[in-house]
A and B are shown apart, each in its own frame.
Chain A
Amino acid sequence: MRVEGKGIIDRSHPLRFTFDGKSYGGYRGDTLASALLANDVRLMGRSFKYHRPRGPLTAGSEEPNALVEIHGKTNQTPNVRATMLEVFDGLDVRSQNRMGTLKYDLLEVNDLLAPFLSAGFYYKTFMWPRAFWERVYEPVIRRAAGLGSLSGKHDEGVYEKAWAWCDLLVIGAGPTGLMAALTAARAGAQVILADENPLLGGRLVGDGGTLGGEPAAIWVAGVEAELRSMPNVRVMTRTTVTGAYDNGTFGALERVGLHRPARPNLPRECFWRIVAKRAVLGAGALERPIAFPDNDRPGILLTSAVRTYLNRFGVVPGRRVTIFDGSEAGRVLARELMAAGVQVAAIIDPRAEASGLEDCPVHLGAQVVGSRGRLGLRAITVRKGAETFEIETDCLAMSGGWNPSLHLTCHMNGRPRWSEDIMAFVPMEGAVPGLTAAGAAAGRFSTHAALGDGKAAATAALKDLGMAVPDLPLPAAEDAPYEPRALWDVGGEGRAWIDFANDVTTKDVRLAAKENYTSVEHMKRYTTQGMAPDQGKSSNVAALAVLADATGRSIADTGITTFRPPFVPVSIASMGAGGRGAGFAPQRFLTSDQASRDRGAPMIEAGLWYRPSYFPKPGETGWKEACDREVGWVRTAVGVADVSTLGKIDIQGRDAARFLDFVYTNTFSTLPVGRVRYGLMLREDGMVLDDGTTARLGENHFLMTTTTAAAGLVMRHLDFVHQAFCADWDLRFLSVTESWAQFAVAGPMARALLNATLDAPLGDLPFMGVTTVRVGGVEARLFRISFSGEEGYELAVPTRYGEALFRDLVGRAETMGGGPYGMEALNVLRIEKGFITHAEIHGRVTAFDIGMEKMVSAKKDCIGKAAAQRPGLTGPERQQLVGLKTHAPLTAGAHLFRPGAVVEPATDEGYVTSVCWSPTLNCWLALAFLADGRARHGEQIRLVDHLRDIDVTCEVTGPVFLDPDGGRMRA
């Protein structure tokens, strides 16, 4: 019910939203919970296990009950807390975790079955008969389990991530945080003030009251205005600090667009990573419920929640309110309600000695021991001494005391300490370096203490940073001593809820103790207490207290489970913001990219690069036809391919040759200027790291080529070897991959094509030679190297000329009966020649395995040499590179077996790494690793691929299928 004259909602902005399809009215400033309560809707959800009717317990982010689904245009978001969701025009919310309607949920039958569904029921119940698990139990449980549902579609909403830096991060904008922020702001520090609510003030908003002799709201507004006017302060509302991490890093979730209709490009949420030199935790405290039978009915709320609904929203969750509270706060609430014209049916005060003088009935020394009302509270049962009586009420406010919100202090392994003074856990000091808990979060609950604490914490933090801090006066505020309460559980026969979110009762905790799950960590996992989306914020201490009681220990000895990040649920989408689609990884495009696409080439990813797969011609039916044609061009005419993706590293210095001798197995110091050599690089453990060619451009100048796949890896490796072992050498190297566009020109007519292209005819460039040429007046480098087995060249020009040169080369090749070739043809050409790629040098093969052990120079040390000579790496037991030939399709990944052998892991003799159809040799070819393979050329071997149902016999050959003597390359 809405109360006139109360609340700070904006009554000039009425709006409409729907809940389960029914339209309701609310005001700007309402949460879903306050707006529904204003409409006398108390039932907002069903509990997790027993499907009990539930309404909000709280008015904050710790809400365990009122979880709903938002149905937006781009998103369906489950498990949204109605107490945090701000309503807006057109908001479409549905209740969740029900079968049927919210009022008539078929799974409510679970509540009747409760005697069988106690803690551990899964383990006990579904043991027998065994065959029932998969066919009966699991499907039924899966259907019943969980809370909200997902749409199953992509989340098309916009999410954002961002960084922020500050001297002081103030977490929470209640009296503690406001005073801390103001102190630091006036000192000139860079300040971030973050609060999860849309309004600053914390409990000052929910409690009303006065500060410095005026309404608290006026003081809050004054501080807010000052903070917002200062350039060194960033005020972040709707932002929950979710985690504390190493070296002053904090995670925070900002609700950017969740409180309004979706609009293009507006993020729903932003995940912040805040780096703070110091932090003040002013997160306040969370009120505890009291366990009594049937304490979970809609209409039963925490005292502070009822106060917040009244003072912030002008809403009372009922018409006849009762209050079960042993503190002054309960009395204040009663007076506020009565002043607002709301009937208070009774105050049930467990204290025997307190005042009984209120304008409503007060039952001292009494406890609430039961309730009734199927879909909402209708009456409570009160016990006073030997007497038990019923009071009709539709709203009960209860309070079992307060727990400091110390969660962030535990994120780096801090263990809270039990305080008998306030009957609650308090933070361990210094648990998060640089972070100080202050005010209620540190267990100092009065407003005066909070203000003073916030100021002191900020002052100490900034002085620690060497800043001068002004001495701000504190506004006068209440400073009542805190009345510690230890009323967790009133006892009795019925089920009394502790963890509302996961449906854990006092009985479950006692059962856990009885079954010897006496450690707090075991009890948690056995009962699932504290494992729901609310992470046990309202239930933890009560559960410990009941466990302590059941095991005869003190609460301090019982201990507490660990609070871990995040403090509130964080959507995966926000944490992964910026990582979807094109944001997943950089896309690298070749200079020839547009030219290839113009020719209709489908692009495929090679690392981060996009390379043409093949160049289709009209009339061709698919990639294979195009690929065969392109291979034919290279074998009989000329083909052109963009090979700029290969890593290129420019190496200079008097020690450059010496360095290459150290990182390659073979020798480069003997390489003449103007020549190119193939090199093999090992990891220090003796496995092959990479291969490629290196050209000597000058006495002290080399150009190394790496594979596309390993370019980054090789750079990191070279940096390590250089910096760790020879930092003082006369040596510098740098990636020049981006500086050059490089094109392979290969085939019997390659030289003719180059002669037609270059400014001057090509002289006598020997195989594995390099020279400087000019093309179109531009200085270029020409390497005579071949990855196809044909006479081949690679022509490199500065990147800016890449597109023009590619178009020119392709055009000329076409006039000569050739043309461009793509990755598919490139792969066939290299397999026919037995050239390896990272399909073969995959990290588990040695130089010996690929038949290159002779390339490991005996005359010098190199990285990986010692390890490569270890026993077991150089014998017939090794799987060695071979070729396979047959007339049936082959697959990479297939395994090799002796013909006639039983096909099982024990008889596995090797595996296939690369396969192709060879249009040149008219058969299927494969490269493979086979045990003692080099001694088995000519044998038959059986190739089995269970995944693709392939089982064929092949001939084992050497890995070089075409032109083993290399005559064509050297032509």
Chain B
Amino acid sequence: MRLKCPLCGERDRREFYYSGAADYLSRPEAGAAPAAWDDYLHNRDNPAGVTRDLWYHEQGCAQWLVVTRNTVTHEITAVELVAGRAAE
């Protein structure tokens, strides 16, 4: 598997650390209801199809990435910088 890091270019998956669903980017506000925290921490979809998840380019530029990929076809449709979201 290869991921096209927006900074480093296409790299083998062994350079990356995988960390689960991109839901982890949507942190509830301080003081949010416990249910919101439960969802944030624990509840994840397990889609057969398009999914967005977090990868860390640990052996490269140390950037966290959001990878959009298809769990059925293995197609990777987007790799974006987590840090780039604020500027969007």
B64 touches A719 (CB 8 A): yes
Q: Choose among A245, A716, A727 the residue that contacts B83 (Cβ–Cβ < 8 A).
A: A727
**Does A912 sit at the interface, judged by CB under 8 A?**
no
Question: In the complex, A865 Cα to B29 Cα: how many Å?
Answer: 12
Q: Choose among B28, B56, B76, B85 the residue that contacts A720 (Cβ–Cβ < 8 A).
A: B56
Residue of B nearest to A712 (CB): B58
In whole Å, how far is A3's beta carbon from the nearest beta carbon of chain B? 49
Number of A residues, CB within 8 Å of B = 25
**Does B78 sit at the interface, judged by CB under 8 A?**
no
B63 touches A684 (CB 8 A): no
In whole Å, how far is A649's beta carbon from the nearest beta carbon of chain B? 12
Q: Choose among A245, A248, A249, A867 the residue that contacts B37 (Cβ–Cβ < 8 A).
A: A867
A723 touches B82 (CB 8 A): yes
Residue of A nearest to B57 (CB): A719
> Given that A716-B17, A719-B56, A723-B63 are contacting pairs, would A867 and B74 also be in contact in the complex, using a CB cutoff of 8 Å?
no
Question: In the complex, A246 Cα to B72 Cα: how many Å?
Answer: 12
- What residues of B have a CB within 8 angstroms of the CB of A246 in the complex? 1-2, 74
Residue of B nearest to A871 (CB): B34
B86 touches A247 (CB 8 A): no
B1 touches A727 (CB 8 A): no
- Among residues 402 to 416 in chain A, which have CB atoms less than 8 Å away from a CB atom of chain B? 412
Residue of A nearest to B64 (CB): A723
Question: In the complex, A246 Cα to B75 Cα: how many Å?
Answer: 9
**Does B45 sit at the interface, judged by CB under 8 A?**
no
**Does B27 sit at the interface, judged by CB under 8 A?**
yes
**Does B48 sit at the interface, judged by CB under 8 A?**
no
Question: In the complex, A273 Cα to B2 Cα: how many Å?
Answer: 12
- What residues of B have a CB within 8 angstroms of the CB of A716 in the complex? 17, 56, 58
- What residues of A have a CB within 8 angstroms of the CB of B27 in the complex? 684, 724-725
B83 touches A723 (CB 8 A): yes
Is the contact region of chain A dominated by helix, strand, or loop, or is it mixed? helix
> Given that A246-B1, A247-B2 are contacting pairs, would A870 and B85 also be in contact in the complex, using a CB cutoff of 8 Å?
no
Question: In the complex, A515 Cα to B7 Cα: how many Å?
Answer: 59
Question: In the complex, A204 Cα to B21 Cα: how many Å?
Answer: 52
**Does B8 sit at the interface, judged by CB under 8 A?**
no
Question: In the complex, A273 Cα to B74 Cα: how many Å?
Answer: 19
- What residues of A have a CB within 8 angstroms of the CB of B41 in the complex? 684-685, 867
Residue of A nearest to B54 (CB): A720
Question: In the complex, A867 Cα to B36 Cα: how many Å?
Answer: 11
- What residues of B have a CB within 8 angstroms of the CB of A684 in the complex? 24, 27, 40-41
Query: Count of A-B contacts with CB under 8 A?
Result: 66
Question: In the complex, A728 Cα to B81 Cα: how many Å?
Answer: 13
- Among residues 701 to 718 in chain A, which have CB atoms less than 8 Å away from a CB atom of chain B? 715-716
- What residues of A have a CB within 8 angstroms of the CB of B63 in the complex? 719, 723
Question: In the complex, A722 Cα to B25 Cα: how many Å?
Answer: 11
In whole Å, how far is A659's beta carbon from the nearest beta carbon of chain B? 14
Q: Choose among A412, A719, A727 the residue that contacts B86 (Cβ–Cβ < 8 A).
A: A727
**Does A336 sit at the interface, judged by CB under 8 A?**
no
Question: In the complex, A749 Cα to B2 Cα: how many Å?
Answer: 57
B32 touches A866 (CB 8 A): yes
**Does A275 sit at the interface, judged by CB under 8 A?**
yes
- What residues of A have a CB within 8 angstroms of the CB of B54 in the complex? 720
- What residues of B have a CB within 8 angstroms of the CB of A245 in the complex? 1
- What residues of B have a CB within 8 angstroms of the CB of A719 in the complex? 56, 62-64
Residue of B nearest to A727 (CB): B83
- Among residues 196 to 250 in chain A, which have CB atoms less than 8 Å away from a CB atom of chain B? 245-249
Q: Choose among A248, A273, A685, A724 the residue that contacts B64 (Cβ–Cβ < 8 A).
A: A724
- Among residues 39 to 67 in chain B, which have CB atoms less than 8 Å away from a CB atom of chain A? 40-41, 54, 56, 58, 62-64
B37 touches A720 (CB 8 A): no
Question: In the complex, A716 Cα to B82 Cα: how many Å?
Answer: 13
- What residues of A have a CB within 8 angstroms of the CB of B62 in the complex? 715, 719
Residue of A nearest to B69 (CB): A246
Q: Choose among A249, A722, A867 the residue that contacts B12 (Cβ–Cβ < 8 A).
A: A249
B2 touches A248 (CB 8 A): yes
Question: In the complex, A249 Cα to B12 Cα: how many Å?
Answer: 9
- What residues of A have a CB within 8 angstroms of the CB of B17 in the complex? 716
Question: In the complex, A725 Cα to B1 Cα: how many Å?
Answer: 28
- Among residues 14 to 30 in chain B, which have CB atoms less than 8 Å away from a CB atom of chain A? 17, 19, 24-25, 27-28, 30
In this complex, the member of B32, B37, B84, B85 whose beta carbon has the largest number of chain A beta carbons within 10 angstroms is B37
Residue of B nearest to A685 (CB): B41
A249 touches B64 (CB 8 A): no
- What residues of B have a CB within 8 angstroms of the CB of A715 in the complex? 62
Q: Choose among A273, A685, A727, A865 the residue that contacts B85 (Cβ–Cβ < 8 A).
A: A727
Binary interface profile of A, 719-746, with partner B (CB < 8 Å = 1, else 0)?
1101111011000000000000000000
Question: In the complex, A725 Cα to B40 Cα: how many Å?
Answer: 14
Residue pairs across A and B with Cβ atoms less than 8 A apart, 26 shown, are A246-B2, A247-B1, A247-B2, A249-B2, A249-B12, A412-B74, A719-B56, A720-B19, A720-B54, A720-B64, A720-B82, A723-B64, A723-B82, A724-B64, A724-B83, A727-B82, A727-B84, A727-B85, A727-B87, A728-B86, A861-B30, A865-B30, A866-B28, A866-B32, A866-B37, A867-B41
Q: Which residues of A contact B (CB under 8 A)?
A: 245-249, 273, 275, 412, 684-685, 715-716, 719-720, 722-725, 727-728, 861, 865-867, 870
Top 7 nearest A-B pairs (CB, nearest first) are: A861-B30, A247-B2, A723-B83, A727-B83, A246-B1, A723-B82, A727-B86
- A-B contact sample (19 more), CB < 8 A, given A247-B76, A720-B56: A245-B1, A247-B2, A248-B2, A249-B2, A275-B2, A684-B24, A715-B62, A716-B17, A716-B56, A719-B63, A722-B83, A723-B64, A724-B24, A727-B83, A727-B86, A728-B86, A861-B30, A865-B30, A870-B34
